Chain A
Amino acid sequence: MNTITKQTFQQLREQPLISIVSIVGTAFSLFLIMLVVMIQQVKVAPYAPESNRDRMLHVKFGSVQQGEGSGNGPLAISTINTIYKKMKTPEAVTTYMYPTKQLLSMDGTKSLTADVELTDADFWRVFNFCFIDGKPYSEADFKAGIALAVIDKTTARQLFGTGTGVAGRQFKLKHIPYKVSGVVNDVSTLATSSYAQIWIPYTTDKEACDMTWEDNIMGYFSVTILAHSEADKAKIRDEADANLNKFNLTIKNKGMKLISRNRPYDTEKESIDFGANIEPDVAAQHRMQWITFIILLIVPAVNLSSMTHSRLRQRLSEIGIRRAFGCTRWSIANQILTENMIVTLCAGILGLLLSIACAYCFNASLFTPLYTNYSNAPLVNISILLHLSTFGYALTFCFVLNLLSTGIPAWHACRTSIINDLNGRR
């Protein structure tokens, strides 16, 4: 092994241009593949406060059909309560309204705006927020409609000048006095269901709860369900469907029907659920991703093959001499493969570093979720980006690339007869 490594480095040094060309080519391909993987990972990988993404199911929208027309959008709280909230199988079910920009003020200081999400008390069971001060509002607070708010660190600083010790203090939200119940770490806009800067019980905003349409079936609320285990998901879907069918019987006499388009969705499907009137096509998304991967892999592989091919021709006489002196085909093939493996591995590490650097520098443009109106860039931290699985993908790609680009020429080089090798002929 040691000799082979030494030989490889000798080879690399002998042809610096070619070494650079092959390393840079492979590194770029891996770099782009890693970016594609990261952009995908960021949508599904678990991180606080959505650490249980693998156990989550979402119902963002519904559609009401009436005659030929249909109304599409989020649901009314009463609809959610009769269909999803009363399910027995899940660990917890939360009802919330996606954030809207609202006005904050402290008496006498400058007003500012923040993204405010209306939630119930179960929200704090489904999502695991990191409280740095105080605690969430309880079920009793929620039911009583007490004006309490959980706020994030940045907003706390903007309002009170400090991030800690502000629990219990008062501020005005929409010109209504609210008391801070707890302070949490800032949440990335990538956590699409749980992101906000301020969370308040929806019972404190009667107007939002009463905003309903399509005969009080539709409103402005969505649902996230936390299952006990991944295996429970199918059972939850069945229960939700059964409840939906029961609900539809009650509105049948109005000539209406609520359809869910196979919701609740898991996190991956939810991440591309942009319209209430279409079911997202996860398979098509995967197909596009595979085509991208294949193009990103094949082109540099052909490139490397072409180069390995030319390089081997140069070394044919060397191979011929070694074989004349009794070196086995296997050992030569082995050397060529190892040689390229080392090159690809170097390139892989370079590509990985490049992709991480790029992810940091361009995080806003790379990761901002589509169709959101938040003005702040998404927070991306190492815990979101660096997953063992991601690095595993990269390494596997490395080896596939290596196999594709050197396997064929290596096999050719070993199969030609010694005489041809010595003559440098194919």
Chain B
Amino acid sequence: MNRKLFKQIRNEWRSNLWILVELLIVSVVMWFIADFMYVRITDYNSPRGFDISHCYLIKINKLTPNSPDFNPSDTLEKKDMEELLNRLQHGPEIEAASLSQNSYPYNGSNASIGINYDTIQTGSGSIIRRWVTPDFVKVFRYEGANGESPEQLAELLKHDNILISDNIFIPHKILSLHNYIGKSFKLSTDTTRSFRLGAALKPIKYYDFESGKDSYCCLYKMDMNHFGNWCELCVRVKDNMDNNFMDNLWKDADKHLRVGNLYVSDIKSFSDIRTNFQRSQMNDMRNHLVGGAFLMLNIFLGILGTFWFRTQQRKGEIALFKALGSTNKDIFRREIIEGLILLSVATIFAIIIDLNMAYANLNEWHDGVTLESGRFIFSVLISYLLIALMIVIGIWFPAKKAMKIQPAEALHEE
């Protein structure tokens, strides 16, 4: 039967050519979209290394001489900042609070740092410097590569240890910092002294859409001498007390959080910060998904329309099949298989185009490569299955109609 089907497809090559062209275009674009989504979703699901749930960023500002409340005799801004941090840390709903510079997640501003150990020099540029008070790791729940808890890490920071992501020397063929814990390192920010490595950290991603493989960072302690109102003040609210935290803090701000000339000027939740920071990536994902849905709808409509007419044209043939003993199921299967054969032929050509595109780096980058065998096969398969699904649904209705053809009537018309 299949040989006959091939012959039929060949005989109707003119109208099949249209379908083939469409399936080819759609296959290539669907592969592109599947590949894009594969990269984005695997990156998104790889561990972040931090946790922003129940976290808030509080902006602190300083009164100026223009304000009637300004106190010119108050010049101890650093002390005031420490007091403010202290008050927050002792709030009943606060789990942890910290000060830092260019350090919180989803932060557009960065500072970089170079790390030297013996003869290994990382150079600066790719390593993010996180300059923090010890509780920072408790706010964002950083974890050590050897299973250290945020509390243990905070304790290490408090005693002037530095924390470095475990993967930092991978470019130098050292896969883990396990053997370097307790050793002393030099940092490019302060070459006069050396720093003891307290623990290695699980990689901390810069934002959700990277794998974390190339995310390096180094944490070291910020002491009171460097406090100022430009510091980032981050807090984690206790899991069970995070209702209306922002409103409550605003109510409290004027009474409890006015220290010297410092006052609270804004509060943001980290989930908002994250949404704003990743808007571009989220928009891209949405656009690709809508594009994919559009193409699938088109395949469905196109196949539905074309096979609807075909069934009408082939009324006679189908009746003849039936008269010669084909069952309804045979007729139904024959129509569906015809569509799938067309898709398979189109996919062969599409794979050639896909491969060329990936080879020319026209698709999405993932950890510096565009062509990976597993990922390629997966995206081709996904695109094939999705289109196949649409073809089956599209042919379903005409095929059902074909099944209902009464041979006697149809042949009589002939």
**Contact for B22 among A147, A292, A302, CB less than 8 A:** A302
Does any Cβ of B come within 8 Å of A22's Cβ? yes
Contact, CB under 8 Å: B67 / A176: yes
Is B280's CB under 8 angstroms from A307's CB?
A: no
Chain A CB count within 10 A is highest, among B264, B272, B294, for B294
- Whole-angstrom distance between the alpha carbons of A292 and B290 in the complex? 12
Across the interface, which residues of B come within 8 angstroms of A300, CB to CB? Answer: 298
Q: How far is the CB of B351 from chain A (nearest CB, A)?
A: 19
Whether A365 contacts B286 in the complex (CB less than 8 A), given A307-B306, A314-B309, comes out as yes
The reply on B265 being an interface residue by CB < 8 A is: yes
**CB-based nearest A residue for B307:** A310
Query: Which residues of A from 299 to 355 have beta carbons under 8 Å from B?
Result: 299-300, 302-303, 305-307, 309-311, 313-314
Chain A residues with Cβ below 8 Å from B263 are 103, 175
What chain A residues lie within 8 Å of B26 (beta carbons)?
A: 299
Given A28-B298, A103-B264, A314-B309, also A306-B19 (CB < 8 A): yes
**B4 → A minimal CB distance (Å):** 21
A103 to B62, CA, bound (A): 11
Taking a contact as CB atoms closer than 8 A, the residue among A22, A32, A103 that contacts B266 in the complex is A103
Residues of A contacting B: mostly:
helix
Q: Does A298 contact B25, Cβ atoms closer than 8 Å?
A: yes
Q: With an 8 A cutoff between CB atoms, is B157 at the interface? A: no
Q: Measured between alpha carbons, how far is A29 from B266 in the docked complex, in Å?
A: 44
Q: How many B residues face the partner with a CB closer than 8 A?
A: 50
Interface size class of A (residues with CB under 8 A): 35 or more
Interface mask (B271-309 → A, CB under 8 Å = 1, otherwise 0): 011001001100100100011001101100110111011
Chain B contacts for A18, CB-based, 8 A:
305, 308-309
Evaluate contact between A303 and B305: CB separation under 8 angstroms.
Answer: yes
Q: Which residue of B lies closest to A206 (CB)?
A: B64
Q: Tell which of A32, A175, A365 has the most Cβ of chain B within 10 Å.
A: A175
Chain A residues closer than 8 Å to B266, beta-carbon distance: 101-103, 113
Q: Which residues of A contact B294 (CB under 8 A)?
A: 28-29, 32, 296, 299
A-side residues, CB < 8 A to B, are 17-18, 21-22, 24-25, 28-29, 32, 101-103, 110-111, 113, 147, 174-177, 204-207, 292, 295-296, 298-300, 302-303, 305-307, 309-311, 313-314, 365, 368, 370-373, 375, 426
Closest 4 CB pairs of A and B: A310-B309, A306-B18, A303-B302, A307-B305
> Could you list 28 A-B pairs, sorted by A, with CB under 8 Å?
A17-B304, A22-B305, A24-B301, A28-B298, A29-B298, A103-B265, A103-B266, A111-B250, A147-B66, A175-B67, A176-B66, A205-B64, A296-B294, A303-B298, A305-B18, A306-B18, A306-B19, A306-B22, A307-B309, A310-B306, A310-B309, A310-B313, A313-B309, A314-B312, A365-B286, A370-B279, A375-B272, A426-B14
